[in-house]
Amino acid sequence: MHVLVTGGAGYIGSHTVLQLLNEGHRVSVLDNFSNSSPESIRRVMGLSNLSVDVYRVDLLDEKLVNNTLTSVKPDAVIHFAGLKAVGESVTEPLKYYRNNVTGTLNLLDGMEVAGCRTLVFSSSATVYGESIALPLVEETPRSATNPYGRTKLHIEEMLEELGASDSRWSIANLRYFNPVGAHESGQIGEDPQGVPNNLMPYVAQVAIGRRDKVSVYGGDYQTPDGTGVRDYIHVEDLAAGHLAALDYLQTTTGVHVWNLGTGAGSSVLEVIEAFKRVSGQPVPFEIVARRTGDVAESYANAEKARLELGWKAERGLEQMVQDMWRWQKDNPMGFEADHLLELSDEELAAYLQQR
């Protein structure tokens, strides 16, 4: 199948592109590189020894989106492209609505023009808001507690209404829990810009010596050790969930939703201890005040994906940390490839051919 992956140069996108290639799919990547590096795609092509067509496109450029979809004519689209920093979404809500919601509308219009109506959408467990009923099932009522989460909720609702208006669409809304880890090669991984918002990359940067200590946001939650509990899922398992959803959509229309989580929760202190054990490095931390908007616990009931997609997460916390540490140790400053963004399209294409 020819799959167009928006945000394919990003963290989850690049891991999914690699699995698609290894499964024999043809892949085109659409990315504006605002929070990703072409270097990730170059390395993916090296790892798979296969080529990817790369289109430097901003989803807010309606004309270019239409032209690109019309020329690529994909059989399916996996849509990762979007802003995802919860804190930033609170200070810049319109930037999030414009980029995530309007960008998705432009993509859907482009897909219609190109006659492609198969979509896997990168949603998030954040749409469950502050639900108290755990583990979280897909029927859990949705509510958003920040603009980022509200964009995901709005897009899910838009897709539900699109599917209801036109039965030719095959749509999967995948609700991620907490993606972490990296490909076993250590060549691709999470490369957050600036100070990491999320726990695992921050802990990795403390372990490698880039940061002094971990601030543990709250030690007085009603959890076994008082710190926040989350359902961390290995990015390779997450990527495999996208391929399973894509397979499912080949024979089914309509709009479907699945949690992609492990069903198990780990606390902040458990993550820090695992990192100390695996890296052999000290990981100093300090328990500080809770972070506004955080919930005490969040973890998935992933039975629906297991029963309907035949998918379940295979990797545990230890492997997540091992693979994250290998990536961080081999790439202490991430991809270090900001200079690539100055390249012209021709220069970028030439660069991507290098192995």
CB of 117 closer than 8 Å to CB of 146: no
201, two tokens: 């990359």
The verdict on 14 binding ligand WQD (CB under 6 A) reads no
The verdict on 134 binding ligand WQD (CB under 6 A) reads no
Candidate ranges 65-73, 102-110, 212-220, 276-284; the one touching ligand WQD (CB under 6 A) = 212-220
Least Å distance, CB 50 to ligand WQD, is: 28
**CB-based burial, 106-125: b 16+ in 10 Å, e otherwise:** bbbebbbebebbbbbbbbbb
Candidate ranges 13-21, 210-218, 237-245, 300-308; the one touching ligand WQD (CB under 6 A) = 210-218
Which of 106, 178 has the CB closer to ligand WQD?
178
Which x/- pattern, by CB under 6 A, does the window 90-129 give for ligand WQD?
----------------------------------x-x---
Which x/- pattern, by CB under 6 A, does the window 170-199 give for ligand WQD?
------x-x------------------xxx
Q: Return the sign of the alpha-carbon dihedral for residues 280, 286, 292, 297.
A: positive
Q: In the structure, how many helices (H) and strands (E) does the chain have? A: 13, 14
Q: Which residues from 214-233 bind ligand WQD, rule CB under 6 A?
A: 214-217, 228, 230
CB of 88 closer than 8 Å to CB of 146: no
Least Å distance, CB 126 to ligand WQD, is: 4
Which x/- pattern, by CB under 6 A, does the window 58-87 give for ligand WQD?
--------------------------x-x-
Number of CB atoms found within 10 A of residue 43's CB: 22
Least Å distance, CB 37 to ligand WQD, is: 19
CB of 188 closer than 8 Å to CB of 14: yes
Identity of the residue numbered 168: R
Least Å distance, CB 352 to ligand WQD, is: 27
139 Cβ contact list (under 8 Å, min separation 6): none
Least Å distance, CB 59 to ligand WQD, is: 17
13, two tokens: 């996108």
Which of 86, 313 has the CB closer to ligand WQD?
86
CA 241, chain centre distance (Å): 12
| Active-site position among 55, 96, 97, 148 | 148
CB of 73 closer than 8 Å to CB of 2: yes
Find the binder of ligand WQD among 33, 96, 202, 311 (CB under 6 A): 202
Which of 185, 197 has the CB closer to ligand WQD?
197
Candidate ranges 158-166, 208-216, 303-311, 329-337; the one touching ligand WQD (CB under 6 A) = 208-216
Please indicate whether residue 351 is annotated as part of the active site.
no
Q: Which residues from 233-272 bind ligand WQD, rule CB under 6 A?
A: 268
Number of residues that bind ligand WQD (CB under 6 A): 19
Least Å distance, CB 220 to ligand WQD, is: 12
Residue with tokens 């005040």: 289
- Distance CA(321)–CA(328), nearest Å, equals 10
- Distance CA(186)–CA(322), nearest Å, equals 10
CB of 51 closer than 8 Å to CB of 354: no
**The pairing of beta strand 2-6 with beta strand 76-79:** parallel
The verdict on 22 binding ligand WQD (CB under 6 A) reads no
271 Cβ contact list (under 8 Å, min separation 6): 199, 200, 203, 232, 317, 321
Contacts with ligand WQD, residue ranges (CB under 6 A)? 84, 86, 124, 126, 176, 178, 197-199, 202, 214-217, 228, 230, 268, 291, 294
Active site residues: 148
